[in-house]
Amino acid sequence: MAGARTAAATASAGSPASSGNPPPQEPGLGELLEEFSRTQYRAKDGSGTGGSKVERIEKRCLELFGRDYCFSVIPNTNGDICGHYPRHIVFLEYESSEKEKDTFESTVQVSKLQDLIHRSKMARCRGRFVCPVILFKGKHICRSATLAGWGELYGRSGYNYFFSGGADDAWADVEDVTEEDCALRSGDTHLFDKVRGYDIKLLRYLSVKYICDLMVENKKVKFGMNVTSSEKVDKAQRYADFTLLSIPYPGCEFFKEYKDRDYMAEGLIFNWKQDYVDAPLSIPDFLTHSLNIDWSQYQCWDLVQQTQNYLKLLLSLVNSDDDSGLLVHCISGWDRTPLFISLLRLSLWADGLIHTSLKPAEILYLTVAYDWFLFGHMLVDRLSKGEEIFFFCFNFLKHITSEEFSALKTQRRKSLPARDGGFTLEDICMLRRKDRGSTTSLGSDFSLVMENSPGATGSFTYEAVELVPAGAPTQAAWRKSHSSSPQSVLWNRPQPSEDRLPSHQGLVEARSSSSSSSNHSDNFFRMGSSPLEVPKPRLAALSDRETRLQEVRSAFLAAYSSTVGLRAVAPSPSGAIGGLLEQFARGVGLRGISSNAL
C-alpha cells in the first residue's frame, strides 16, 4: 500500500477561539497529557486499553497536518515497521497552497520510500529508522536513533535482558524482533554493508546531507561492550559523503539536575570530565564562521547557552540556500532528538514559515502529540526519575523569542525609540540567582544591574523579574561556502574546575556573544519563581514571533499544571515547590489543583 494521500481540503477547519486569560486550550490537550503521563505509546497497543484516546490523538494529528500540507501516510499498524513510531507515519509531500505547490513538488515515491524503510530499519538502534517529520522549503528534516552496533544486530533479544529499564539507552522488547530479522542477522556475513547501505540509500532518497549527532559518546558502552555505534566512527567510512556534525548534548539523566535546581537552567553546566564522554564537538569549518559563536567554549556553556547555540546551528543548516535535508539523532532518538525537533518546528512556525494556519494551541498539541508522544518518549519513566527534559523543552521557548533565532532572511525590527532619561534600550538587565539551591526566592528583593552601571548593588533572582530584550541586531543569515573539501573544526577543551561557577560580579559576564538572549528573552514581567506561572504580558510591543512563542509556552504551562504538574524535590527545605501549582492556579483563574499532582 503506497499510503493514503490526504489533502488539506479534507481536514477539519475547526479551532478553539482565542481568549486572553487563561491561555486558549486545544480541545483534547488535557487528555493527551494525561494519557502521555500514564503510559508510553506503543503502536501495537493502540487498540487496547486507552485505544480510543490514542485513536483520537492520532486522528487529530492528521487533521492538523492536513491544514497546510498534502501528505501520504506510511502504515505502521501494530508496529510492523517500528514498535514505538506512530501507527500512521506522516510523509509531508508539499504545502497545500497553490503557490508552494508550484514552488516545491515532491519527487519521492511513497512506495519506494516504504521499501527503503523496511530494508534499512535494522541499521539503527531499536529499529528507529530515518523518518522525515518536518518539511521546510522543500527540505526534509528527519529524526532517528543512532546506528546499531554488532550487539543489537546479532543478539538484540539477549541484550534486552541486560539493558532494559527505560533509560535512554535501553533496548526494545524481544517481541519486536521478527523471525525474518533473526534469520537475516544470523545468515548474512555482510550485514553491516547491507543494512547501512540501505540506510544510506534512504538518506540520499530524502536528500539528506547534514547529519547532526547529539551523543556525548562515540559509541554507547555498557558493561565494557559497545552496544551502539554512530556515523562519525563508522570504520568503513560509509557516511563520508555526508556532512557530519558532532554536537554533544547531555542525555536525559542530566535533566534530573535541572529539576533539582528548581527548574533553573541558567548556570547549569554539564560535567564533560566524566569517563564515558569521549565525543568532542566537531563541525565542518565552513559552518563555523557565520554564526558569530565561539565554539571552542562549548564545555563552558550552561544548559541555556548550549541549547540556544545548537538550535542556531540547526536553523542555519535548514535555512541554507541549497536543497539539502537534515537528520538529527541521539542514541534512542526519543529524548534529546524530540527536544531539538520540537524547537525547530516551533521556531519555524513562529516565523510563519511552516504550519502557517495553525494557532498557538494547535501547534502545541501537534508538537506534544507527534514529536513526543507518538514517537515513544517515556514520560512516565522520566517523571519518576525527575528527568524532566519534556518540561524543559516547552519552558525553554522563553529563551528563543528574539530575532537572532529567526529563519527569515529579511531584517526585521531591530530596536524601539530610546526612552527618556539616562537609559537606552541597549541597556540590558542581567539577572542572577542569589542562592541557586534555595526555593525561598518567591519574596526576594531585587535590583537592576545595568550594562553601563557595573557598580550597581543589590540581590535579585532571575526567576523574579524578566525584562524585554534590548533589540539586538538580527543575526546575519547563514551563507553557504563552496569549499569542496571542508575541514572540520574539532574541539575538546579541558574542563574548568568543577566548583568554578560563571562570574556574576557587577555586570554579569556574557557567557557567549551569541547567547546573550538567555538573560533577556522572556518578554513578560513575572513576579515569583514558579516555573509554571503564566507570564503576564508587558505594555511593550512584541514582535509576532515573540507573541506566538509566548502564547505556546503559556498554553503549555496551563495544561501541564492542570494535568501532570511539577514533581516536588524531596526534601524541599522551604516548602516553596509545594505551593507552585497553587500560585499558578491563582494566576490563571483555575479553581484548584489536585494535590496528587505534586
User: How far is the CA of 293 from the CAs of 286, 289, 395, 514, in angstroms?
Assistant: 13, 8, 24, 5
Closest CA to 336 of 252, 228, 247, 211: 252
pLDDT at site 224: 57
pLDDT at site 182: 45
| For residues 241-250, average pLDDT | 97
Per-position DSSP letters for 388-436, written without gaps between them:
-HHHHHHHGGGGS-SGGG---SS------PPPSSS--TT-------S-T
The residue ranking higher by pLDDT, 531 or 573, is 531
Residue 536's DSSP bridge partners are 525
> Is residue 518 predicted with pLDDT exceeding 50?
no
> Is residue 512 predicted with pLDDT exceeding 50?
no
Residue 551: pLDDT band with limits 50, 70, 90: very high
Residue 72 phi, psi (nearest 5): -115, 155
pLDDT at site 455: 37
Per residue in 434-477, pLDDT (tens digit) is 333 333 333 333 333 333 333 333 333 333 333 333 333 333 33
Q: Report the distance separating Cα 414 and Cα 68, nearest Å.
A: 30
Residue 542: pLDDT band with limits 50, 70, 90: confident
pLDDT at site 44: 85
Residues 6+ apart with CB under 8 A from 507: 430, 449, 451, 453, 454
pLDDT at site 96: 86
The residue ranking higher by pLDDT, 227 or 543, is 543
Helix (H) or strand (E) holding 154: helix 150-163
Per residue in 297-314, pLDDT (tens digit) is 999 999 999 999 999 999
Q: Report the distance separating Cα 211 and Cα 232, nearest Å.
A: 10
**DSSP E strands: which ranges in 435-593?**
488-491, 524-525, 536-537
The fraction of the chain above a pLDDT of 70, given in percent, is 59
| For residues 74-91, average pLDDT | 94
> Is residue 417 predicted with pLDDT exceeding 70?
no
From the list 125, 212, 330, 429, the catalytic residue is: 330
pLDDT at site 349: 98
pLDDT at site 13: 35
Per-position DSSP letters for 194-217, written without gaps between them:
HHHHHHHHHHHHTTEEEEEE--SS
pLDDT at site 221: 66
Closest CA to 360 of 401, 319, 325: 401
pLDDT at site 230: 85
212 is catalytic: no
| For residues 495-513, average pLDDT | 36
pLDDT at site 105: 61
pLDDT at site 591: 33
Per residue in 142-190, pLDDT (tens digit) is 999 999 887 776 655 344 434 444 443 333 333 344 434 444 444 444 7
> Is residue 496 predicted with pLDDT exceeding 60?
no
The residue ranking higher by pLDDT, 458 or 362, is 362
Any idea of the CA torsion for 315, 319, 323, 324, to the nearest 10 degrees? -20
